[in-house]
Structure 1
């Protein structure tokens, strides 16, 4: 990929198109067939083999966005995560995971690895030293997430990548919160990049997908086991995802700007105790974020003052939607304790610093003034009704 003339929006729009050779249409045609010829063809195509025309084209686009050689597209973010991990782990191996993780990844580790005889450990923090202390002789994979879900902790990607290489380990990262627009881990030496493409890549809260991005060698290793597990994505959804990616750069630029303004607004609000956003100078990892991110993202979390009922606050919102997922063009909020991290025990959530009243805020593309007005009126309603606890 020649970055000197192919910027992010050009890649989003043009790389990985399926050319309409018959009618010369401006968008990729969709090939819905689940059965293709096997004689006298260059490629024996089958949806579960990740090589239909639309699957192949979309993989090229996502690989280009992450400055990588190759990619695979899956039916969900968890499919991408689980397929990648299981491709490099076997009985007797050890995987080292970051302490602050998406709840679904945490749940996968604690409920599945023991069944396969795979050892796992969580770090006590997210510095390079935290990882180094936990490496064992049988460690094979180091897994990180930065910015993390939901507390937006920042991990030094280059430091972890170098540590992995020193010990001959595979490094993996969940890059969902940042997206390829804001962060390209392969440029910092990370081996395998994972995405819930449901989120910023899809961007419209209407599809479910995942992606794995890496070298051709690593992708082939993942492919060899993934064709057995059956986590491929339907071509209709592949086509919708390719369409959505065309505007990803523009959407995320707007979300970055809005999130920065909302974080600054909340940081000085009398009813807010804490704000977690790497774009704030007060964030403990702000300098690392500046070094490795192109933008600070559209995600933030915050805690209301003690005594203010977070659930009632969300019920009073009129524009911002309480909703399960994130990264759509519309702004949404949720309580991780009831959703993304509900499968974790109270004790394990406490270890990560996830309080019951923590609100995760996915900032959309609306006017910031409207978002601020909505938050103010929701708080005002609580105070007028005296519903604070």
Structure 2
């Protein structure tokens, strides 16, 4: 008596996040693993026609005709290897040696059964899915659709006409376009069930649904992989989405991570308010305190995460030594290189496991898109990509196109950003109304020597400086406002990395609701100014800053 499928009560039916082999929708499927445990029989006669695709039945079919129809209703899956009296019309008895628990059976087992019995749509050769000729299938699908549309109604023609005809001039033009086309599609279709099966087995190289990937976005990821010398890359909807998805994917309850005191305020907020709910501990150290980093790693910290340079005080960690320590203690190392970009620093080449960017900034470069970037080891990116497909922080194809366009001029822009910031830092360091300048090109910077060994072309376009006066006095606060408002070139805004210069008084823009005791601990004084140099002429920027300082 063959087993039958018995659905569980509704209250107990659920879709697991992963299969027994670890695959999750949105991840690259694993290498096919065929497990057969039932007897398969096929009818005498020609192979099943392509139109016979239907539902595979797991129970016997009663024979009522000497010439049964060639359909899946006649394709029997039996638990017993022994033929019965009713199957004298059958041949090719197949009896696998192992047993199968039907409650554990997946579609993969059904596909294996069809392939084992030589189904023309799904033929297994050396463990790989060999679909029928792509050219043949393309022509058949195309001619069938075109013939149908000729006789269809106006509404059907309006929906399907032209767009699904993807051969000839249009196909060549897409391939020959110098700019990557914007593939503005949320769903990607299959020409046949065979292609869909092959996709799920990792043997049909395409996309399925926009949350799991898009051709324009993948082109941007592949460009990032080349720039960062990474095994894989993932572009998401924002820098913060990249940060939070990475942390949630790689950390578990009771884990510990290490980070630096000076970091982007929203990252700090996530570490301080969200991760503790998951019982994940964060150890905060000074960017230059490598000894404290090692002490935390010895305690079993799962992840080290730091910006380089940091925001907004432009500190620089000793990445080489920290990476070496992370390797020694088995800790994942992720460096946020937003301020530096691959033009100035390649953390992966120093041995880091992951590099992160707010692509909104220098990679995009024009203040017209939002996206986040992760690149690094493939095994880590697969974990992050899996959760990314669940959380849904997807970048839209048009933003991916803008990211592609922006990265084409990254080196040209970064050269100008570096030069403008270095010159402005030098001028400000000698001005009587400025008490301190935070930029690694200056020998007075606390991380000057470490920065010189790590950065190859420059230190990025962001610097910060403090106006002279009582750090937390009202007079200094008012002086900061007068300086910012007296500037002519930079816009007042919270971002950075675009071709236009941006300026902010940090305590107003980012710490408006934070008490003085918190800002004092973080080094956010009333007169702290963050200046993101654009690519304007150096002399214009310097002259504008000098005239604005006269108002202080």
Per the normalisation by structure 2, the TM-score is 0.63
Cα deviation digits, residues 195-228 of structure 1 (max 9, x gap): 0000000111111110001111111111111111
The match for 2:460 is 297
User: Is contact 1:20-1:27 (8 Å) kept?
Assistant: no
Within a 5 Å distance, the mapping from 1:169-248 to structure 2 comes to 169-248=331-410
User: Is contact 2:343-2:411 (8 Å) kept?
Assistant: yes
Distance change >3 Å, CA 187–CA 26, structure 1 → 2: same
Alpha-carbon deviation of 1:351?
2.4
The match for 1:72 is 234
The match for 2:188 is 36
Segment of structure 1 superposing worse, 187-196 or 349-358:
349-358
Whether 1:287 aligns to 2:449 is yes
Q: Distance in 2 between the 1:325 and 1:260 partners?
A: 19
Among 495, 500, 514, the alignment partner of 1:325 is 495
Q: Structure 2: which 5+ residue stretches go unaligned? A: 1-169, 196-203, 470-474
Among 368, 373, 389, the alignment partner of 2:543 is 373
The match for 2:211 is 48
Among 3, 13, 26, the alignment partner of 2:178 is 26
Q: Distance in 2 between the 1:253 and 1:343 partners?
A: 36
Whether 1:339 aligns to 2:509 is yes
Q: Distance in 2 between the 1:101 and 1:208 partners?
A: 20
Q: Distance in 2 between the 1:238 and 1:350 partners?
A: 39
Among 402, 405, 414, the alignment partner of 1:252 is 414
The match for 1:157 is 319
Q: Distance in 1 between the 2:514 and 2:348 partners?
A: 30
Q: Distance in 2 between the 1:124 and 1:32 partners?
A: 45
Cα deviation digits, residues 239-294 of structure 1 (max 9, x gap): 11111111111001011011111111111012111101001122121111111112
Cα deviation digits, residues 75-105 of structure 1 (max 9, x gap): 0000001111111111111111111111111
Distance change >3 Å, CA 66–CA 348, structure 1 → 2: farther
User: Is contact 1:36-1:44 (8 Å) kept?
Assistant: yes
Distance change >3 Å, CA 276–CA 108, structure 1 → 2: same
- In the alignment of these two chains, the number of paired residues is 363
The match for 1:81 is 243
Q: Distance in 1 between the 2:230 and 2:403 partners?
A: 19
Q: Distance in 1 between the 2:549 and 2:371 partners?
A: 36
Secondary structure of residue in 1 paired with 2:258 = strand
Per the normalisation by structure 1, the TM-score is 0.89
User: Is contact 2:287-2:317 (8 Å) kept?
Assistant: no
Alpha-carbon deviation of 1:316?
1.2
Segment of structure 1 superposing worse, 366-375 or 150-159:
366-375
Q: Distance in 2 between the 1:315 and 1:241 partners?
A: 32
Distance change >3 Å, CA 164–CA 347, structure 1 → 2: farther
Secondary structure of residue in 2 paired with 1:48 = coil
Q: Distance in 2 between the 1:367 and 1:325 partners?
A: 20
Secondary structure of residue in 1 paired with 2:244 = helix
Larger Rg: 2
Alpha-carbon deviation of 1:30?
1.1
User: What RMSD in Å do the two structures reach over aligned CA positions?
Assistant: 1.8
User: Is contact 1:103-1:342 (8 Å) kept?
Assistant: no
Alpha-carbon deviation of 1:311?
1.2
Alpha-carbon deviation of 1:125?
4.4
User: Is contact 2:287-2:315 (8 Å) kept?
Assistant: no
Whether 1:316 aligns to 2:486 is yes
